[in-house]
Every structure is written in structure tokens, then in C-alpha cells.
């Protein structure tokens, strides 16, 4: 990022301050047991010298706040819908009670304009999560409603600072105004990419970090479409968790492939000297883009990555593979003739995709049949077969699953809630059906989700 403007530096500093206010030392601030979110429309500046109209957020005056909870502590969130349309909030990755999962009709009535809803839950897992609407999902997310949510570890691993990075694009023209949020011909393929890359709603932000300190970067890809490879350049940095679950061993912070909905926690050792800048890079097919810069400041704190305590693994039950039942899912084109039905949660007007040859008809009262029914406490292997030429990040609500094997590549044994299924790939993942309810199961490229690639799995007690 040559030629930093004064404005960018100022914005970066503002980013630093607000990130600090929202986070800072885990030990040095109290965690609120109750939170409030106001779903709002607003005008906000994303591109220099422009004001983007018609943005949407969980706050009336800026980006969605970073929510912080403590593992195992009960929390409540009062959501007030001040939009002109219905909405609902989903807590992506949290294994909580079905009634609090925030999926229209499947788990609750949409929160209509002017209404409120109180969510209450106790997060069982620590890590990096996020929250977003599940009603008129493409439009509301594309306009800004994607927020970071952090469940702090019961035991502090020893970072000097915690810095959430909400990574996403906006589809803006040069005048800073929204252009068409999607194109149908892209929705039928890989999805429609944004035009402006942001981190915490800032273009090219700069974060000032204490030289020689240890910082936990929480990368959260909240974009509606983009699958990308991320990298930290200019410092010692390790990936310590993916999708809120600690890795068995840290990996270098290079070529971290994240699809929409995925997260990576990175332990960063800030360089000792001012001038030794660090970059967060998004690698593209033919080039790369610097998304954010980190400037070391002050005298070195001389910390060492080996001083960090390893993260404690989350209490996700171990699958009993010897007694597992295999359930098959095929992700494909939509059979001919299905037209989407109108819904108060919106429709993109097309049906392109299907799961097990059925296209999801839209966010409607139903009742609909689950794609599969599982018995509480039993282990299942989900065999995910992609017969399309596009990749699909497959996401399951309410239950975490473990990657087992693929016909295309070596899979790391990660525990996750979102797995990128490559084109023509068949992937086996395993889970223990330990959370009763109807759990949404869909592609997290939102245009795919909203044009058929959605269903749900039932766990019956």
C-alpha cells in the first residue's frame, strides 16, 4: 500500500482506538451479561469523500459492534428491529438451543419491522464467531449486517491484545453508492463479488500495535461470496484456531483458505522496530491485495510466541466412527420448473441450486421435510457430494462436525461448522447429533443459499 494518505492513517488510528475499546486485555474489562442490538439503516462513509446511503447495521451509527461473551456464562441480547422490513439474527457457530438459532419459521417467527426479540443462551465453546441476519439475507448482509462475536476462553492464553478483523467486501460504484447487489448469471455460478475490500468497514486500515507484543488477530470472513487465501507478511505469525476450534498444532499464517463464514485466529508477534510493518494479504488468482497494515510502535515489549498458553479445546463430543450411520447429500443444479415463492424474508427470484435434487422454496412457514433425521446422541457421517463446477462452503447450524476424508485431497482433522466443498469433491464429515432441533444446512455463498442450496437436518430426541 504505497503512499498512505493522512486520512487513511487517521482512520487506522480510529480503528485502533475503537478495537481497543471493544477488546483490550481479556482480563482488564468486565464482560456484560446483557447486550442490545438495534437493527438500523444508516448512511456511512466507506470510500473517501463519499457517503454510502442505505447501509444496514446492528447499530444506528456505525459498524456492527463486536459482541463479547464468556464461555459457559449465560447471556441475553435484546434485538430491536428498526429496519423497514422483517429480520432475524443467527449466531453463526454457536451450539445453542434451537429456539435461539435465529432462522425464520424453522426456529422463530421473523422479527417484524418495529418489533423486538430477546435471545438468551449460554455459549458452550470459546473462540471467534459472528452474527448476521437470516431473513432477506443477501440484501441485509450485503448492506452491512455482519458482526463479529467473541467467546472468551475461560483461561486467558496470555495475549497483550485482541484484535477482531471483520473482512468483507461491499458492492459500491465509484460514487460510493451500492450497485446491483448480485447478478443472476453469477448467482448461477460462483456468486457475485464485491468491488471494495474492507476490514472493520475501513478501506486500507492501519492498526498501531505495541512493538514486540503478542496480538491475537481474529480474521472473520463475513463476505457474502468471496473465497480467498489470506496471509500475514512481515512478522512471525501462527494460525492457532480455525472456525473457533483450536488446531492440534499451530500452522504458519500462509495460504489460509477461508470461505464465507469461516474464521482464523492468528497469534502475531509484532516486530521489535518501528518501520517493520506487517500486512494482512488477500491472495488472488493473478495478484494480491493488502487488506490491512500493522505498524509497530514504541519500545519493544520483547514477548515470545512460546509464552502463550495453548488454547483449550472445546467440549465437542468425539464421533463414534465404529457405530456411525452414513447420510448422503448431493449438491447440484436445481431440477427444472421450481419457481421461488414470495416471502417476507425476500427472494432473489430464481432457483438455480438444490440439495438431494430439492430446491429450497424460500423462507416460508412450511412445514417442510428435513433432508435427514438423526437420533439424539448417535454419530453420523455426512457424505457431501458436489456435482457442480463451483465450490460451496457448506454450513450446518447447531452442531460442529469433524472433517474426515475427501476424494480430492488430504483433509486436516479440523472441527468446524463450515467446510469448503470443492467442485466435484466428495467429502465425509462426522458429527455426534447432540443438539435436538431443526438445524439449517446450506451453502454460505448467500446467492446460492437464497436460490435453492438450503435445507435442514432434524435431530430427534
Site residues, ligand C2O (CB under 6 A): 90, 92, 132, 134, 261, 395, 397, 440, 442, 444
Among 445, 446, 457, 459, binds Cu ion (CB under 5 A): 445
Q: Cell triple for residue 94?
A: 454457536
Q: Which residue is nearest to ligand C2O (CB)?
A: 92
Q: Strands, DSSP E only, in 109-189?
A: 116-121, 127-133, 147-152, 161-170
- Rounded least distance, CB 20 to ligand C2O, Å: 27
Tell me how far apart the 2 most distant CA atoms of the chain are, in Å.
Answer: 67
Nearer to Cu ion, 70 or 392 (CB): 392
Among 171, 226, 392, 450, binds Cu ion (CB under 5 A): 392
Binding partner at 261 among Cu ion, ligand C2O, none, C-beta below 5 to 8 Å by kind: ligand C2O
Eight-state DSSP code of residue 186:
H
Calpha distance 428→266 (Å, rounded): 27
- Rounded least distance, CB 181 to Cu ion, Å: 17
Distances (CA, A) of 275 to 16, 57, 234, 281, 293: 18, 35, 11, 18, 11
Of 236, 438, 199, 430, whose CA–CA distance to 325 is shortest?
430
Binding partner at 445 among Cu ion, ligand C2O, none, C-beta below 5 to 8 Å by kind: Cu ion
- Rounded least distance, CB 92 to ligand C2O, Å: 4
- Rounded least distance, CB 133 to ligand C2O, Å: 10
Eight-state DSSP code of residue 311:
P
Asked if 95 interacts with Cu ion (CB under 5 A), we say no
- Rounded least distance, CB 90 to Cu ion, Å: 5
Binding partner at 442 among Cu ion, ligand C2O, none, C-beta below 5 to 8 Å by kind: ligand C2O
Calpha distance 5→50 (Å, rounded): 16
Calpha distance 185→191 (Å, rounded): 8
Nearer to ligand C2O, 278 or 440 (CB): 440
Reduced to 3 states (helix: H, G, I; strand: E, B; else coil), residue 12 is: helix
Binding partner at 168 among ligand C2O, Cu ion, none, C-beta below 5 to 8 Å by kind: none
Nearer to ligand C2O, 296 or 346 (CB): 346
Amino acid at each position: 500500500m504505497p503512499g498512505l494518505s493522512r486520512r487513511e492513517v487517521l482512520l487506522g488510528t480510529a480503528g485502533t482506538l475503537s478495537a481497543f475499546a471493544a477488546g483490550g486485555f481479556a482480563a482488564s474489562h468486565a464482560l456484560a451479561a446483557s447486550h442490545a442490538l438495534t437493527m438500523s439503516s444508516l448512511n456511512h462513509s466507506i470510500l473517501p469523500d463519499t457517503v454510502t446511503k442505505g447501509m444496514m447495521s446492528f447499530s444506528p451509527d456505525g459498524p456492527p459492534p463486536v459482541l463479547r461473551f464468556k464461555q459457559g456464562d449465560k447471556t441475553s441480547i435484546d434485538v430491536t428491529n428498526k429496519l423497514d422490513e422483517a429480520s432475524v439474527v443467527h449466531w453463526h457457530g454457536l451450539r445453542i438451543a434451537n429456539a435461539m438459532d435465529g432462522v425464520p419459521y424453522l426456529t422463530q417467527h421473523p422479527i417484524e419491522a418495529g418489533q423486538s426479540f430477546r435471545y438468551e443462551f449460554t455459549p458452550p465453546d470459546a473462540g471467534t464467531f459472528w452474527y448476521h441476519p437470516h431473513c432477506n439475507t443477501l440484501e441485509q448482509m450485503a448492506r452491512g449486517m455482519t458482526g463479529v462475536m467473541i467467546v472468551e476462553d475461560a483461561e486467558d492464553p496470555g495475549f497483550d491484545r485482541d484484535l477482531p478483523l471483520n473482512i468483507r467486501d461491499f458492492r459500491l460504484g465509484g460514487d460510493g453508492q451500492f450497485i446491483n447487489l448480485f447478478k443472476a448469471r453469477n448467482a448461477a455460478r460462483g456468486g457475485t463479488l464485491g468491488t471494495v475490500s474492507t476490514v472493520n468497514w475501513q478501506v486500507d486500515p492501519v492498526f498501531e500495535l505495541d512493538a514486540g507484543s503478542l496480538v491475537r488477530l481474529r480474521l472473520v470472513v463475513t463476505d457474502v461470496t468471496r473465497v480467498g487465501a489470506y496471509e500475514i507478511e512481515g512478522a512471525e505469525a501462527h494460525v492457532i484456531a480455525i472456525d473457533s476450534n483450536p488446531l492440534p498444532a499451530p500452522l504458519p499464517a500462509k495460504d489460509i483458505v477461508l470461505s464465507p463464514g469461516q474464521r482464523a485466529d492468528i497469534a502475531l508477534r509484532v516486530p521489535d522496530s518501528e518501520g517493520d510493518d506487517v500486512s494482512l494479504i488477500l491472495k488472488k488468482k493473478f495478484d494480491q491485495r493488502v487488506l490491512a497494515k500493522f505498524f509497530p510502535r514504541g519500545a519493544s515489549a520483547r514477548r515470545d510466541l512460546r509464552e502463550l498458553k495453548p488454547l483449550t479445546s472445546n467440549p465437542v463430543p468425539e464421533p463414534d466412527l465404529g457405530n456411525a450411520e452414513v447420510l448422503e447429500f448431493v449438491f447440484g443444479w436445481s431440477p427444472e420448473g421450481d419457481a421461488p415463492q414470495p416471502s417476507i424474508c425476500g427472494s432473489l427470484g430464481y432457483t438455480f441450486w438444490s440439495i438431494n435434487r430439492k430446491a429450497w422454496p424460500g423462507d416460508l412457514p412450511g412445514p417442510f421435510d428435513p433432508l435427514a433425521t438423526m437420533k439424539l446422541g448417535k454419530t453420523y457421517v455426512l457424505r457431501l457430494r458436489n456435482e457442480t463446477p463451483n465450490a460451496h462452503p457448506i454450513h450446518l447450524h447447531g452442531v460442529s462436525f469433524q472433517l474426515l476424508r475427501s476424494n480430492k485431497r488430504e483433509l486436516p482433522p479440523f472441527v468446524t461448522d463450515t467446510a469448503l466443498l470443492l467442485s466435484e469433491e466428495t467429502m465425509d464429515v462426522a458429527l455426534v447429533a447432540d443438539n435436538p432441533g431443526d438445524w439449517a444446512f446450506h451453502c454460505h455463498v448467500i446467492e446460492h443459499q437464497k436460490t435453492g442450496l438450503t435445507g435442514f437436518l432434524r435431530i430427534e430426541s
